[in-house]
Amino acid sequence: MIFLDLDLKPLYSSLIATMAFGIIFNVPKKTITSGGIIGMLGWSIYTWLIDVLKYEMVSATLVAAFFVANFSQVLARYHKIPVTVFSISGIIPLVPGGLAYDTMRNFVENDYLTGVRLGTKTLLISGAIAFGLIISGVISQTIRGKERNYVKES
């Protein structure tokens, strides 16, 4: 069974990190827990894609960011607040901060080849996050536009 040896510490860490980010940036108090759950779900999707389905980091990040954005759309409608409150907090566990640090460290240590390799990976992961958010937003607006047109025609 896949779930018998599941380590929950990274999931709790992503939940706490996302909630802390929300607190630092003064999101409404009623949305802190929901935002944390979105971040935890995004991280769990990311790790599941990498560990179980053997995705590459960039494609796993793209899919996880897409799901984070979709969950954010749903909760934003439920709470009647802007989507960015959830989506920005939700992508925090996916941001390649450690990889960016390693990139800069390699440049400082004059290991330019490794620095360029890690920098490229960092940029690709960052682009995958942005692309996942954009795709979800476009699909959501397209669906909402069709719903509005349907209501106007009736």
Confidence of residue 151 (pLDDT cuts 50, 70, 90): low
Quick one: which of 132, 24, 153 has its CA closest to 69? 132
Q: Mean pLDDT across the chain, nearest whole number?
A: 91
Predicted confidence (pLDDT) at residue 47 exceeds the cutoff of 60: yes
Mean pLDDT for 80-103 is: 94
Predicted confidence (pLDDT) at residue 139 exceeds the cutoff of 80: yes
Contacts of 36 (CB under 8 A, 6+ apart): 15, 16, 18, 19, 22, 89
Whole-model pTM?
A: 0.86
What distance in Å separates the CA atoms of residue 75 and residue 131, rounded to the nearest whole number? Answer: 20
pLDDT value, residue 144 = 81
Q: CB neighbours (10 Å) of residue 111? A: 13
The secondary structure element, H or E, covering residue 79 is helix 57-79
Mean pLDDT for 115-130 is: 97
What distance in Å separates the CA atoms of residue 8 and residue 88, rounded to the nearest whole number? Answer: 23
Predicted confidence (pLDDT) at residue 50 exceeds the cutoff of 70: yes
Amino acid symbol at 21: F
Sign of the torsion angle spanned by Cα atoms 23, 27, 30, 36: negative
What's the chain's length in residues? 154
Confidence of residue 26 (pLDDT cuts 50, 70, 90): very high
